[in-house]
Amino acid sequence: MNRTVLNIAIFAAIGLVLGYAFFGKWGGDYVSLNTLFSFGGNKLQTAFRSVSGIEDMRNKILICGAVGAAVGAAIAFKK
């Protein structure tokens, strides 16, 4: 069981890193992790993240992490 959780965590981290590498650029530069993963804030900050595409970027990166976790689980349970 411990090995399964470790496998899932490793592949989720790999998925997040790859997602950030593919989808983390905005205007030719990478968006800071603080900006990308800051949740909450006031209405103006939320509107800016939504209009600027940061929300969509964050969702794509998190989906890559979830796919990585699923791959890690599939590999762990296949063994």
Range of the domain at 54: 2-78
> pTM of the prediction?
0.82
Q: Domain total for the chain?
A: 1
The whole-angstrom separation of Cα 77 and Cα 28 is: 40
Q: C-alpha 57: how far from its chain's center?
A: 9
Q: What's the pLDDT at 66? A: 97
pLDDT tens over the chain, length 79 residues: 788 899 999 999 999 999 999 999 888 888 888 877 777 677 777 777 777 778 889 899 999 999 999 999 999 888 7
CA quadruple 46, 49, 54, 58: dihedral, nearest 10: -10
Sign of the CA dihedral 72, 73, 75, 79? Answer: positive
Q: What's the pLDDT at 8? A: 95
